[in-house]
Amino acid sequence: MKKILTLGAIAFSMALAVPVSAQNQVDIGLHRNGDKLEVHVRPQSSFNGIFSSVVFTIRWDRSSGAGLGTVTQEGPAAQFIPLMRSGGLREDGSFNYHVYAGFGISPLESLETSWVAGEEYVIATIPVTGKGDFELLNDAWTAEATHNADYYVSLGGVDRTGIIYKGLVTADEDGSVNIQPNPNHGQFTFSFSNAVPADITVEIVNTLGQSVFTDTVREFEGTYRREMDISTMSNGIYYLKIKRGETTSVHKIVYR
């Protein structure tokens, strides 16, 4: 007996036979810009379709007294992926959490925009109050099913979640200190500037207060830069302490 296919069935079969070009993953990063945080996405391939959804979480230490204001968006991002805070402030242990989510239905091309592979695009700006370290991250709290707050991205309704390529920023008033990459895998570079000649002491310590690196320079003026490799040490949190004259600043280093 012959099998008769309807036109609809034939069309469906042909659609299945047509290969669909794969869209690569999208990474996310958190950056500091004055008194604001910027959330960047970095597509691994060019894209101009529908940015269907995104979820990300920012965490900070409650004892810092710092806080986050209302998320704002500018340009096409406000239309192709409108964002809002998902629920109120959450508390767990010593940390505060804010979860953000966005959903889009408009193709980027309909807004006369597109993504280029490897470029970074700002999708949100969040004002900061007070001083503290802020992290965009996946942790045990975000991974709980009831929270469902791990980083997630879908393009055209398909999961394209990449990595968190830059998760930590500080709200320290001294914006000249730069640690890259951070988090890292034990290898990183840090730098800072000193406009007025002064004695400086640079130290990296672990969570036990043990020094793993120290350097002192007399009457230093200019830019201090150092490449570090602590990959032979235990991973975890380290602190970069910089003393310039009578002023000391502390910056967190995350070794994963």
Nearest to 118 by CA among 25, 21, 20: 25
Residue 130 has pLDDT above 60, yes or no: yes
The predicted pLDDT at position 21 comes to 43
Nearest to 151 by CA among 133, 168, 166, 163: 163
pTM value is 0.63
CATH class of 178-255: mainly beta
User: pLDDT confidence of 15, banded at 50, 70, 90?
Assistant: very low
Regarding predicted confidence, which is higher, 247 or 113?
A: 113
For the chain, give the mean pLDDT.
Answer: 86
Pick the CATH number of 26-170 from 2.20.28, 2.60.40, 3.10.450, 3.40.50: 2.60.40
Residue 3 has pLDDT above 80, yes or no: no
Q: What are the tens digits of pLDDT across the range 195-227?
A: 788 899 999 999 888 999 999 999 988 889 899
Residue 17 has pLDDT above 90, yes or no: no
- Beta-carbon count within 10 A of 173 CB: 8
Q: Is 178-255 in the same CATH topology as 26-170?
A: yes
Domain ranges of the chain: 26-170, 178-255
Residue 20 has pLDDT above 50, yes or no: no
The predicted pLDDT at position 171 comes to 52
